[in-house]
Amino acid sequence: MSKELSWSWQEFLELGEFETTRDFHCVTTWSRYDNKWSGVSATDLWQEIEQHLEAKPEAVMFHCYGGYTTNLRVEDLLAEGNLFATHHDSKPLTKPHGGPMRFVCHHLYAWKSPKWVCGMEILDKDKRGFWERHGYHNHADPWLEERYSYQEGPEDRKVK
């Protein structure tokens, strides 16, 4: 995708309201259960992006204030319940928790739920973000305990 898309904060919020209750898992072995999140559904935003795509992308890279990045394969981005959260437990997100908006990817470890998102790059090939370049697993499934890159299979080792 060569065209840059952008929305004002109000335009972004008007993409649709979405609410879900899900668990949240950190790579450091803690979990918080039954989190009520609300914001804009990842699939609603993707519908707006998809019409501008020239080819089917493999992944996205989130860019965040402070220079943090993390990658997600498109199928993980669009997994049921994922959203760009503006509220947690019915309260606006505070700055320490990523406010005013963070991406929440329920089915992967929390480093794949970046805070302070300021952009999303569409990638034709997957590439590693900050923690993935520093030894964390490229996928991050908590049920498979995909914490560190030494656990990756041959398919993941090809990602540069």
Tell me what pLDDT residue 160 has: 47
Tell me what pLDDT residue 10 has: 97
Give dist(CA 60, CA 149) in Å, integer: 19
CATH number of residue 66's parent domain: 3.90.420.10
Burial category of 84 from C-beta neighbours within 10 Å (exposed 0-12, middle 13-18, buried 19 and up): buried
Across 26-96, where does the E strand assignment appear?
Answer: 31-41, 59-64, 69-73, 83-88, 91-92
Structural domain contains residue 65: yes
Task: Report how far apart, in Å, the C-alpha atoms of 78 and of each of 16, 86, 107, 152 are.
Answer: 15, 18, 11, 22
Helices in the chain by DSSP H: which ranges?
9-13, 42-50, 74-77, 130-133, 154-157
Structural domain contains residue 77: yes
Tell me what pLDDT residue 1 has: 53
Mean pLDDT by 10 residues, the chain (160 residues): 86 96 92 96 96 95 97 97 97 96 96 96 96 94 87 51
Structural domain contains residue 2: no
Structural domain contains residue 1: no
Tell me what pLDDT residue 49 has: 96
Structural domain contains residue 3: no
Structural domain contains residue 4: no
Range of 149's domain? 9-157
Tell me what pLDDT residue 127 has: 95
Tell me what pLDDT residue 66 has: 94
Q: How many structural domains are present in the chain? A: 1
